[in-house]
Amino acid sequence: LSETELAKKYGMSRTPIRRVLQMLEAEGLVETKPNVGSIVTTVDLKSLRDAFALRIRLSELLGDMSPVSDLYPVMMALDELLPECKALVERPDVGALCAISHRLQDVLLGLSGNSEYRTVTDALYYKTIRAYYTILAELDWRMEAEAQVEEIHEILVSLQANDVRAVGLVRRNH
């Protein structure tokens, strides 16, 4: 990854690009080598398994981590996300499904008022999801897209019942 090329592509200076690359390096997602640049690291399977196991357990705690009282903004965001995801069942687009997954993660983080929970959960999400994205194109597309639709639908049903704990369990199960 070239700082110069990324800065040019995103229309910004190299300084914010460098900061992002440093954050990614701290999370073990890239390795920076002098006179070479930043290189995306390979997935360490043991570390990935450990991170995923922790991510699953933490998702179960969502309802206990200072849940917000106003669920309406989250439900509205999910109502917008659901038809976009349904459209992908018949129209495979790995990038679009990844974007929906990221937006779902962001929306669900808004259910907790605990900033540490949000930080750790988000870091584990991005650490583990990249392995899924690597193999997504090789999986049964319809099954993967329908699973995402089902997850969003089940989360909406849980929120309509005012049950944030159930949202965490849905997330864990999916």
Question: Is residue 2 classed as helix, strand or coil in its secondary structure?
Answer: coil
Neighbour tally for 14: CB within 10 Å: 14
> Using 50, 70 and 90 to split pLDDT, how confident is the model at 171?
very high
Task: Give the tokens for residue 156.
Answer: 């909406």
Q: Report the DSSP beta bridge partners of residue 30.
A: 40
Query: Does the pLDDT value for residue 99 go beyond 80?
Result: yes
Q: Report the DSSP beta bridge partners of residue 32.
A: 38
> Using 50, 70 and 90 to split pLDDT, how confident is the model at 105?
very high
pTM for the structure as a whole: 0.81
Kindly give, in sequence order, each residue whose CB lies less than 8 Å from that of residue 111, ignoring residues fewer than 6 positions away.
Answer: 62, 67, 68, 71, 74, 164, 167
Phi then psi dihedrals of residue 42, to 5 deg? -80, 160
Q: How many residues does the chain have?
A: 174
Q: What is the pLDDT of residues 119-142, one digit of tens each?
A: 999 999 988 998 898 899 899 999
Task: Give the tokens for residue 58.
Answer: 């933490």
